[in-house]
């Protein structure tokens, strides 16, 4: 994709825009738990880790896409208990953390773990997702990983097809059981690609 700069790290002034992009991509899945929108955006703006992301910007500096990742140093968009309490209050934080805790897993020491790939609606179908994924694979190699891992919900066949075209293979499927009624999907595929 021409006219796009890809870099490791998120400049501070782009933090609100990165939160918006993340919510644009994942709000439909997390909205019941993380909503309303205004609170979710405040939470994400507060917790996103500038050192756990690769970004893509146009020539004017507008954020077009992000590829967050999770390492032993932290996750792009997780936050801590006190962050959630500050936005949702003690009770709201408690039930949200409980539900989200059932979805998330720990750090994967064998694979470089993707923690959210998001492309702005205005920049989709132009190869930006592929560009960001190549950057993630390059970062994985720099850090000594032999492969990249991601999880994609089973109700998103378009994303599964994209990742397969990029060399990922499904290695497992996890069901979320009764939580499907809360999150709106039944499970997720784990996909891995050598780098």
Residue 55 pLDDT more than 80?
yes
Residue ranges of the domains in the chain?
A: 4-194
| Percent of the residues in the chain that have a pLDDT greater than 90, as a whole number | 58
Which of 65, 39, 50, 59 shows the shortest CA–CA distance to 15?
50
What is the average per-residue pLDDT within 29-45?
90
Average pLDDT, the chain: 89
Cis peptide before 36 (omega within 30 of 0): yes
- Residue 59: pLDDT band by 50, 70, 90 thresholds? very high
Residue 31 pLDDT more than 80?
no
- CATH superfamily, domain at 4-194: Gcn5-related N-acetyltransferase (GNAT) (3.40.630.30)
Residue 98: what pLDDT? Answer: 83
Higher-scoring residue by pLDDT: 27, 149: 149
Residue 107: what pLDDT? Answer: 60
Residue 103: what pLDDT? Answer: 64
- Residue 1: pLDDT band by 50, 70, 90 thresholds? low
Q: Are 142 and 75 in contact (CB under 8 A)?
A: no
Residue 141: what pLDDT? Answer: 96
Phi, psi of 185 (to 5 degrees): -145, 155
- Residue 22: pLDDT band by 50, 70, 90 thresholds? very high
């Amino acid at each position: 994709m021409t006219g796009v700069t890809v870099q490791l790290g998120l400049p501070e002034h782009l933090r609100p825009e990165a939160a918006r992009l993340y919510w644009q991509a994942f709000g439909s899945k997390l909205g019941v738990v993380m909503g309303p929108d205004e609170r979710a955006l405040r939470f994400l703006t507060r917790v996103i880790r500038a050192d756990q992301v690769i970004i893509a910007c146009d020539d004017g500096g507008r954020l077009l896409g992000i590829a967050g990742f999770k390492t032993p140093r932290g996750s792009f968009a997780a936050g801590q208990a006190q962050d959630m309490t500050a936005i949702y209050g003690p009770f709201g934080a408690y039930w949200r953390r409980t539900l989200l805790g059932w979805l998330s897993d720990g750090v994967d020491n064998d694979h470089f773990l993707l923690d959210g790939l998001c492309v702005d609606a205005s920049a989709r179908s132009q190869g930006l997702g592929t560009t960001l994924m190549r950057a993630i694979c390059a970062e994985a190699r720099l850090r000594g990983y032999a492969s990249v891992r991601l999880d994609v919900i089973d109700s998103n066949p378009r994303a599964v097809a994209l990742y397969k075209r990029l060399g990922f293979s499904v290695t497992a499927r996890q069901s979320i059981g009764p939580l499907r009624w809360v999150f709106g999907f039944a499970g997720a595929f784990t996909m891995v690609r050598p780098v």
